[in-house]
Structure 1
Amino acid sequence: MNTSVHEIADGVYRLSTCVPDVVPGGFTFNQYLIDAEEPLLFHTGPRRMFPLVADAVGRVIDVSRLRWISFGHVEADECGAMNEWLAAAPEARVMFNRLGCLVSVEDLADRPPEPVDDGARLDLGGHVVRTIATPHVPHGWEAQVLHDETTDTLLCGDLFTRTGDGPALVHDTDLIGPALEAEDLFGATALTTSTAPTLRDLADLEPRTLALMHGPAFVGDSAGALRDLADAYEARVTRAVAS
């Protein structure tokens, strides 16, 4: 395996590793590095993948410069290597929503995390990121996304998960079909009455780029893709209730 590095927005880098034996065709695990005065890494990768991802980060910045670590929810591929990153970057801290810090991160992290409120903005110096809590969307009580308001990039975690490998960045392609196929395969999304409204709230941000954790970054009608995904999930909830 190797980890590729591509700049998908100004100062935003996609670090991607395709693991071939998860499903036929492979499955990508992506992290996103925002190169700013205070660099931020979104997703840490699993603990055993740390050497690969650290090498990839090192192609963009000195790893010891890393200042902030965040992720979508508490799960191995999202935050498994959290403490390895804290050891490699002595000034780094984990930034996460207050609920997630309370129920998990305060105990799991080797250094106290920085709890933030829903909607809080952090100026990284050159990029401003906003933390948005999305409980149970796509899964996890403590789920969240980050919006890089400077480049209009939504770091959207497990939303739009798809299988296979491919280009780092795609334009105006279908995200919904592959996402629903992956949902049929994994059953990973918490489909509740709040799922669609949460996705529509994210669509109202009108992001330019969607930074997927499992799949390519997407540039195009991102708001439309979020609304289409909301409609598809809402239809599944409606069918389940009717049956």
Structure 2
Amino acid sequence: METRISEIADGIYRLSNSVESAASPDGFTFNQFLILGDEPLMFHTGLRKMFASNRDAIASIVPPERLRWIAFGHFEADECGSMNEWLAAAPRATPAHGEIGCRVSLTDFADRAPRVLSDGEKIDLGGGKLVRFFDTPHTPHGWDAALVFEESTRTLLCGDLFTQFGDKSLSLDGDIVGPAIVAEDILKYSALSPGMGTTIRKLSVLRPHALALMHGPSFRGDGAKALVELGDEYDRRTRFAIDQLDNRDMGRR
């Protein structure tokens, strides 16, 4: 397995593994992100079987033992499956996640005690890099779901938001929402809830210049507009699902 490397913003690297997908001939990517600084942060660890390839990729940028922080969007194999391998490779690294994720999963799973982050908390990585943590429960799925925003480059590390097929490294065509809707129709991976659209739209106030997708290309452009459009789409889907249930109940009466 080969891990491809691309710098998506100043000091932020995308480490991408492409696999075949039965759902699409375009394939599917698993992306990890490295934010440099005096205390480098890795967002997503990748699956355990991807560890060796990802470790070699990071080693071409920075010695793995220099990693200081390991964070992720939610507790799931592709998000943090190789966390303990990374903790062994980076003795100074600390796993960091929100209170729910730490209480429910991380405190037991991680070989090193995690740093519990509160909603909106900032970590100064040094070297001009500052990240802010945001709780996004159940958005797009997972009680412990969360995102990270790097302030100097205005890069939002989106986790599973905007998931799409294909192995392009960068999207510049202005449409990051359309392909995400296609993937949602096929995979149905989101946990629809009444608050989902609002949660996504609130992120638009960050006005990100770049969106770093866990599954799909990184995007440069009007990130706020894309987040509003995606939030509106999930509101539409939620209303449709509720209407379908109401109609089903009416049919039983």
- What is residue 20 of structure 1 aligned with on the other side? 20
Give 1:160-239 correspondences, 5 Å limit.
160-166=162-168, 168-239=169-240
1:172, distance to aligned residue in structure 2 (A): 4.2
- What is residue 134 of structure 2 aligned with on the other side? 132
Q: Secondary structure of 1:8's partner?
A: strand
Q: Secondary structure of 2:147's partner?
A: strand
Task: Pick one of 149, 152, 159 that aligns with 1:150.
Answer: 152
Give me the whole-angstrom Cα distance separating, in 2, the residues matched to 1:19 and 1:139.
22
Letter in 2 for 1:16: S
Q: Secondary structure of 2:56's partner?
A: helix
Q: Secondary structure of 1:139's partner?
A: coil
Gaps of 5+ in 2: 245-253
Greater Cα offset, 150-159 or 21-30? 21-30
Q: Secondary structure of 1:160's partner?
A: coil
The alignment's C-alpha RMSD in Å is 1.0
Letter in 2 for 1:134: T
Give 1:105-124 correspondences, 5 Å limit.
105-124=106-125
Give me the whole-angstrom Cα distance separating, in 2, the residues matched to 1:76 and 1:173.
31
Letter in 2 for 1:64: E
Give me the whole-angstrom Cα distance separating, in 2, the residues matched to 1:39 and 1:110.
19
Paired residues, number: 242
Gaps of 5+ in 1: none
TM-score, normalised via structure 2 length: 0.94
TM-score, normalised via structure 1 length: 0.97
1:22, distance to aligned residue in structure 2 (A): 5.0
1:181, distance to aligned residue in structure 2 (A): 1.1
- What is residue 62 of structure 2 aligned with on the other side? 61
Give me the whole-angstrom Cα distance separating, in 2, the residues matched to 1:22 and 1:123.
41
Greater Cα offset, 77-86 or 14-23? 14-23
Q: Secondary structure of 1:124's partner?
A: strand
Letter in 1 for 2:119: D
